[in-house]
Amino acid sequence: MLTIPFKATEESPWFAFAGSLVVVGMLVLFYSVVSGAVQAGELRRQAQASQTTATLRCNALPNWSDKNDCLKEMGTKVSAQQSPLFASR
């Protein structure tokens, strides 16, 4: 039979030490999760800003076919408003 050499009571220094380790471990885990979320958000923001800049650059092209090719190459949907067929309406 396994016996514990100390009593796990509130007066025991081991109880306070173990509780402190659990709290510190939870804080480290929380910090790790929050840091990962912040990094993911920053990467998403940078990707979105890059996509917006590229879309604006494509939309600034004077020729419609160049603009359309640029947007297709970038993988952006070409809207019907940009089509010359609907320009006269």
Distances in whole angstroms, Cα of residue 57 to Cα of each of 45, 53, 62, 65: 18, 6, 11, 14
pTM across the whole model: 0.56
- Contacts for 70 with CB less than 8 Å, ≥ 6 apart: 57, 58, 61
* 37 pLDDT above the threshold of 70: yes
pLDDT at residue 31, as a whole number: 98
Q: What is residue 37's three-state secondary structure?
A: helix
DSSP 5: S
* 71 pLDDT above the threshold of 70: yes
* 1 pLDDT above the threshold of 60: no
1-6 mean pLDDT:
60
User: Cβ(8)–Cβ(14) under 8 Å?
Assistant: yes
